[in-house]
A and B are shown apart, each in its own frame.
Chain A
Amino acid sequence: MRTWALFGFLVCGCATQFPLPMTAAQLVQYNSGPALVAYLAQSDASPTVCDLRALSPHVPRMTADMRAALVDGMVDGKINPVLWRRCADVLLERLPRNEIPPLFDELERAYRKILANSDLEKNPSVAGRLATLHRLYLDRPAGLDSNPSARATWFEDLRAALAKGQLGPVAAPFAQELVATVDVENGRWQGRAVDAAMMDALAASGNEMTLTRFVERLPSPELREQAQRRIIRIHIALSPFQEVRDGSAAVEDTVIREGHNRIALKEHPLLSATLDPSKTVARDVLVRQRVWAQNATLLAYVASRSTLSVLPEVSFRGALWAKLQKISRPVSVCEHWKNLDPSPCIAADDVSLDNPVAYRDSGGDFHFKDEVGVSEVVALAKNDKFVLPVRIGGRPAVSLNWGLSYERPDDLAFNETSSGRVGPRLKIRVQRPTATHFVFSVSAPQGTYAVVVDEANIHDFHIVSRGAPGSSGATGSSGSPGAAGSECSDGERGGDGGAGEDGGRGGDGGEVFVEVACGGASCPDTVDLLQQIILSVGGPGGAGGSGGAGGPGGPGGSSRSPSTHINSYGESVTDDQGCSAGANGSAGSNGASGSPGRPGRPGKVAFRLVPAEGT
């Protein structure tokens, strides 16, 4: 079978198709290069699946198959370059050192491929992909690179191509910048050794571009730190915070030491906070429940997009702004240390989200579990919205409210299967934590099941205790075969079949006891509604047994040939005329079929009003 599947794959050359949307947990199950590409090609996909040490589901290791697929996925335009870059960055941070050169070899292969693509000179998307690879290579952490021999050949080729003018106007600047970067790695820039005086001159002209090259590529940590300090000085000079400019030396040291200028919230308590809507991600959440497995997948949708996708990550950097006591301007969450931002800021771990499925990753961004258990499904139903209350330093700050809906779940139908037996006895508790959600908790002999149903879907959802079908009636006995006819005589008629047995009575529906906590909703209306969807149903009667088949008629007797003899005169004399064969006997009649059994009766469904939990 597998051989045929492989053969088919090779013949049609088809790419592997995956059901979408694919959650991070599903990606981990697939654990292949094509699956990684399919996941990252989705809207709102999270690059943390590339983080080998992430708390959230992630690829267990970066195999050669995944490495090649990941690089090709971006080069072929399947993965958004920005998302791809974030994935590549986290890989460079987390991969074991011995796996870095093969990754760079793969990137180099892709770089050469795009550089040789004639479309590079006329298609901005192709140029954008090359720029993504290019920046990743230039911005890589110090000490990480491809295999030295491969790198040497690559740069030799680049220099030769530049010298011979073989690169077009788009390709050439990329190659020139790569070659120039090698000089920085050797401590030189534009023919001069890089020193403090050169860096001071660059800082005086606000030239962050060159200083950033120095931070990323200079050979010694000391020189790199000197470049960092010059960038911080530029940022301090441009800072709108008076207190930053006034305390420039201390701020510079803080940023060098910690990567940012974190504010101690004990000394500067929160006064108020706002969210910048233009920088705040907003989605609606759909809960897809699997009622029998008692788990669910959380998916996201937006009105502007016709397809469901995975839940996005949420970053509050530049989106959440807080006024703090004794700080002159609103501050946001600290930027990545690479930005060397001296602005006072709130440390990422001072921000929390009160949501049962949200968690913060090591980089300070928030993610959501997309595969959740039933307790989380029920907990979410306590609000009409998918509420994301934000706390800063433990204090309530602002709240994000996304839409929340539950896809209509499968009916909870508890069917007795032993013929004629009464349906399962159910105890159901119904709560209406909000006007839009019904939460059912059903205790049945086989276990307890919880399910949330949106008011919009409530009429299409049912909880049923169903009696077992009645037993089927036995088939009537078959008629006996007719006796065979003797020679020349007919066979006898077969015996009639016996009557089929009547079907058994269906089992009655089980008793159902329903406790209803109406919450804020009208109790009579709620109970009326529940009476239509919580049912106890008798099992159908068993089918009547078929009548027995009539017996076949007996076979007719055999024929007899005439007999003659020759007398003394030589004449033929007939001694016996003989006879023809007897006819077969007719078949017996089939027996009458049994009557179907009576259906079971509905069981009792009793409703009782109870106070809502917590009241």
Chain B
Amino acid sequence: MLEREDAAQEADVKPLRWEPWKGSHALRPPKPTPAPLAALGLARWCAAGEGAREARGVGRLAGRPEVPAGGKAGGLPTRLALGVLLASVGCAMPYAYSFHSENRDARPSAKPNQREVLDDADVRAEILVDPTDARAILLDLTNKTDQVLQVEWAKITMTGSDGSSTSPRPHVDLGWILPGTTMSARLVPFALPPSGDRAAGYQGSRFELVVPMIVRREPKSYRYSFVVDVRPI
């Protein structure tokens, strides 16, 4: 398992910081650091990026940019000026990720936010990868056999084409899947940068979700491959 290193980490806006090593008295948001942008009234605008993203529906798969509720999009000159200003002050561009299955028999989702369906004679998998909002992989598995199907939940891996690898686990403990039934798992964590150059860098990258199972008493690894589409929002 190799580690992906990215030198451009600093460009992203830091969220509120919890500093437990300083003791319980330090469990509070840090004081805002003075910034040159503050005088221009822009610091708050930039720092609010995460909240604003959610308000705009950013992070939804293949989501389109929307006008914030109750807000005005502004005319072209205004938006242009804002864009230039944003570029000049270094606010990170937000992106939405879409994970499209590369497996031969995959049925791609008809709409954003819907699961891709991968099927064989024994197992049906419905998968939605949401690395920015849920920061999870949503996996529904249906046991199509007449025997119990065991998923080795603790051995699931998600490996990127850059060599990065993580082992997301169900957010609650799960057992085997009875014949003819479906089990839903929310595999956490799986997070990717929501904005900035590092997010854009994932365009076209590939991930492989490996789910080891025991199907009809035989160990088997299901490999679900995805290519990533990253779009600015």
A residues at B contact (CB < 8 Å): 77, 80-82, 109, 112-113, 115-116, 118-125, 127-129, 131, 153-154, 156-158, 160-161, 164, 166-170, 173-174, 202, 205-210, 212-213, 234, 237-240
Q: Is the CB–CB distance between A80 and B1 below 8 Å?
A: yes
| Bound form: Cα–Cα A16–B135 in Å | 38
Q: Is the CB–CB distance between A124 and B158 below 8 Å?
A: yes
By a CB distance below 8 angstroms, the chain B residues around A208 are 150, 153-154, 175
Q: Is the CB–CB distance between B189 and A158 below 8 Å?
A: no
Q: Is the CB–CB distance between B12 and A118 below 8 Å?
A: yes
Q: How far is the CB of B214 from chain A (nearest CB, A)?
A: 5
B contact residues, total (Cβ < 8 Å): 52
| Bound form: Cα–Cα A118–B188 in Å | 17
Q: How far is the CB of B101 from chain A (nearest CB, A)?
A: 19
By a CB distance below 8 angstroms, the chain B residues around A81 are 1, 3
Q: Is the CB–CB distance between A169 and B150 below 8 Å?
A: no
B residues at A contact (CB < 8 Å): 1-6, 9, 12, 14-21, 23-24, 27, 131-132, 134-136, 148, 150, 153-154, 158, 160, 164-167, 169-171, 173-176, 188-194, 198, 214, 217-218
Q: How far is the CB of A327 from chain B (nearest CB, A)?
A: 16
Q: Is the CB–CB distance between B135 and A153 below 8 Å?
A: no
Question: Can you list 11 residue pairs at the A/B interface with Cβ under 8 Å?
Answer: A81-B3, A109-B21, A120-B191, A122-B132, A124-B158, A124-B189, A131-B189, A205-B175, A205-B176, A209-B169, A212-B154
By a CB distance below 8 angstroms, the chain A residues around B198 are 122-123
| Bound form: Cα–Cα A561–B171 in Å | 118
Q: Is the CB–CB distance between B27 and A238 below 8 Å?
A: no
Q: Is the CB–CB distance between A166 and B18 below 8 Å?
A: yes
Given contacts A124-B4, A124-B164, A124-B165, 5 further A-B contacts (CB under 8 A): A125-B4, A125-B164, A157-B20, A207-B175, A240-B217
| Bound form: Cα–Cα A170–B158 in Å | 15
Q: Is the CB–CB distance between B3 and A115 below 8 Å?
A: no
Known contacts A112-B20, A169-B135, A212-B154; is-contact A124 B173 (Cβ 8 Å): no
* Chain B, residue nearest A202 (CB): B175
* Chain B, residue nearest A168 (CB): B15
Known contacts A77-B3, A169-B189, A206-B148; is-contact A122 B18 (Cβ 8 Å): no
Dominant secondary structure at the B interface: loop
B20 CB contact (under 8 Å) in A115, A120, A122, A240: A115
By a CB distance below 8 angstroms, the chain B residues around A169 are 134-136, 188-189, 191
By a CB distance below 8 angstroms, the chain B residues around A160 are 24, 27
Q: Is the CB–CB distance between A80 and B18 below 8 Å?
A: no
Q: How far is the CB of B183 from chain A (nearest CB, A)?
A: 10
Q: How far is the CB of A498 from chain B (nearest CB, A)?
A: 74
Q: Is the CB–CB distance between A157 and B27 below 8 Å?
A: yes
By a CB distance below 8 angstroms, the chain A residues around B167 are 128, 131
By a CB distance below 8 angstroms, the chain A residues around B194 are 122
Q: Is the CB–CB distance between B20 and A161 below 8 Å?
A: yes
Q: How far is the CB of A71 from chain B (nearest CB, A)?
A: 14
* Chain B, residue nearest A173 (CB): B188
| Bound form: Cα–Cα A153–B3 in Å | 31
Q: Is the CB–CB distance between B17 and A118 below 8 Å?
A: yes
Q: How far is the CB of B21 from chain A (nearest CB, A)?
A: 5
| Bound form: Cα–Cα A395–B154 in Å | 37
Q: Is the CB–CB distance between B15 and A127 below 8 Å?
A: no
* Chain A, residue nearest B158 (CB): A124
By a CB distance below 8 angstroms, the chain A residues around B160 are 124
| Bound form: Cα–Cα A202–B175 in Å | 8
